[in-house]
Structure 1
């Protein structure tokens, strides 16, 4: 038996520690640890609720927009504000752009290197790679292109400095792609570094900047002067370029990689899934979501209605004070200190030991996975024709059944499916915005009263690139009395609870094959398939200087 610790495990940012116990070539047990404390809920107490969406965006440096959206929705719910049609549509367009940025970045920059052996690409035949590119990609490249790419890659390797390709277990026996497929994937990895800029520009068209946009505010959006033909045409031009890249490069690559790793359609799965639903289609029907709200329970493709009052967080195995599950509307963020904290050293060997700064969210007392796989499963069973047709098409091409979705491979594939459907829906919303403006409706903001007598309680819920995100606010005398965030990575990467139910990523890891405990590539595959974004889940700040602590991880 071997104990393996990977710390930190995310490729780009965030502090997540994964510990697994390997026995007879498989993971027998697993523990997920968020290693830094998040204090945003405490920072927000006593502040003006209208500032919350600007502050909560700083939860992360990637998915900033979605925190802004959840926050303004929470304040609007508390103050009973209905936003205009144009605001609803503009928010849908910016949120869709965020998805078009996040999902390809996840596949190429955060996840692909778990499946693509970059060093193996050095033995690829450029002519055969070009032929492969022509057969599977909508943007084939020439032999000369792949000769140049191979030369650049060789220079990286010969220098001993692999740059963005330095963090993987090259030559691991779990890699299965032929050298030519690896070289093609390296090319598309670099292509997406350029492509993601266009998605960021789409967000900035309506949000003024990216990241940390300024386009949202309680009551609507700030783009009254930008609702013109030039801005809309610019968004539509970039959108169609994104759709082309997704259809011609991202989805074909996804299918090509998946065809070599069909065994992973039986590894890394969960049975319970939760989606809040998002992209409202109506101004008068509150739950008119393009991607519906719902849950999948016990692996049955049957839609279960979701009651948000059944959401709780508990801290039995987390470094916080508290001894019972609480709904986020009355939630607490009280970190342990001093002797109670014991240096925040993860205690994974005791039955009731505390080992994470991440809390443990539950729905109706059950562990729930959130994210694009949950969104696709709920939409698949909930009547979204575009999702169903796309999922069925992918399953048919891979020659696997719906059960394959409940896996690490299904989780990776769902991101591409959701990205494509979301992008195409954005075309429809763009044209709805055009038609609404043609009618003479240019309203983007609903005025409301806010003063020292204002009281209210509200929730802002959305389904974002990494899963179900919720903000809960309690306003008293015009100030924030309590604020709680339950983010996707809290749902997915949280620890065990008081019933010893393990969190989704811990569950998914159990049973994962590990060929070499000293090179746990397979562990990375399952964890990275969740797209861990620990910046949202944990933060640390010096209360005296307001300076964020800096850490060097060797």
Structure 2
């Protein structure tokens, strides 16, 4: 719609030029994760071909450190054309700012003026910028809903009450072999669900969720994910009092982490604790 953010990518610290988005450039790695791929731990798989095979090889509890283990997470490492990418409200605002979306440009510039810093899209790529980006994202969504409420009400009054497109609802209408992906900008960032169907059956289903992008571990090239990069890349992250390390907590919290997908329970023998019940 008019004034909306369009899909795009910002790469290599260039926050002015938005590159076209190509979903075929996405691959997931498990180099640092407790999963295994048929092709080997350093392989990168497109989500359509993704595998989720648990392979916990870490220390047995109780333990104090994971840092000396090559695998240390239940989070895969999505990469875009080989790049680690941050997603979220601030990423949306940065794309919108570079695209010149008025509601975003005006408010980001106003924030920079208030803080006494240069008007610069890079402001949003910071702990403060992520917090501000979330607030700005909520404000813009409220404005959009207010503006569209009357239009939606009028259309309902005119009999437009359908809530979805039923054209491909019935499985009988599907090709015997097909694949599809659904994208949505969830509150925490870009969310995608990928499915492949063979002979009317789902043969692979993978979700690449916002906090997977942001909290990913290192990939086959040793590149850090956004959380790690924010904390470690300069070696100068502020830490006023080591006995009360609130600064790293504040930095990670600015991403609004959702790590429930990265929790897996095992019993003392190392067997997975399952809650799913087969029919």
Task: State whether TM-score is above 0.5.
Answer: yes
Question: 242, 260, 264: which is aligned to 1:517?
Answer: 242
Task: Report how far residue 422 of structure 1 moved.
Answer: 1.1
- Is the 1:487–1:537 contact (alpha carbons within 8 Å) kept by the matching residues of 2? no
State how far apart, in whole Å, the 1-side matches of 2:161 and 2:252 are: 45
TM-score by length of 2: 0.84
Partner of 2:54: 335
Mapping for residues 50-129 of structure 1, pairs under 5 Å: none
Partner of 1:312: 27
| Larger Rg, first or second structure (1 or 2) | 1
Query: Matched residue of 1:299: which SS?
Result: coil
Distance 1:446 1:367, change over 3 A: closer
The alignment's C-alpha RMSD in Å is 2.4
- Is the 2:179–2:197 contact (alpha carbons within 8 Å) kept by the matching residues of 1? yes
TM-score by length of 1: 0.44
Task: Report how far residue 544 of structure 1 moved.
Answer: 5.6
Question: For this pair of structures, how many residues does the alignment match?
Answer: 257
Distance 1:436 1:454, change over 3 A: farther
Mapping for residues 139-538 of structure 1, pairs under 5 Å: 281=1, 290-300=4-14, 301-322=16-37, 323=40, 324-337=43-56, 340=57, 343=60, 347-349=66-68, 353-401=70-118, 402=120, 403-447=122-166, 448-451=169-172, 454-510=176-232, 511-538=236-263
Query: Matched residue of 1:484: which SS?
Result: strand
Task: Report how far residue 453 of structure 1 moved.
Answer: 7.0
- Is the 1:313–1:331 contact (alpha carbons within 8 Å) kept by the matching residues of 2? yes
State how far apart, in whole Å, the 1-side matches of 2:96 and 2:262 are: 26
State how far apart, in whole Å, the 2-side matches of 1:289 and 1:310 are: 27
- Is the 1:372–1:465 contact (alpha carbons within 8 Å) kept by the matching residues of 2? yes
In the TM superposition, structure 1's runs of 4+ consecutive aligned residues that sit over 6 Å from their partners are none
Which one has a larger percent helix, Structure 1 or Structure 2? 1
Task: Report how far residue 456 of structure 1 moved.
Answer: 2.1
State how far apart, in whole Å, the 1-side matches of 2:128 and 2:216 are: 21
- Is the 1:489–1:537 contact (alpha carbons within 8 Å) kept by the matching residues of 2? no
- Is the 2:31–2:220 contact (alpha carbons within 8 Å) kept by the matching residues of 1? yes
Task: Report how far residue 488 of structure 1 moved.
Answer: 0.9
State how far apart, in whole Å, the 2-side matches of 1:515 and 1:383 are: 38
Structure number with greater CO (CA < 8 Å, separation at least 6) is 1
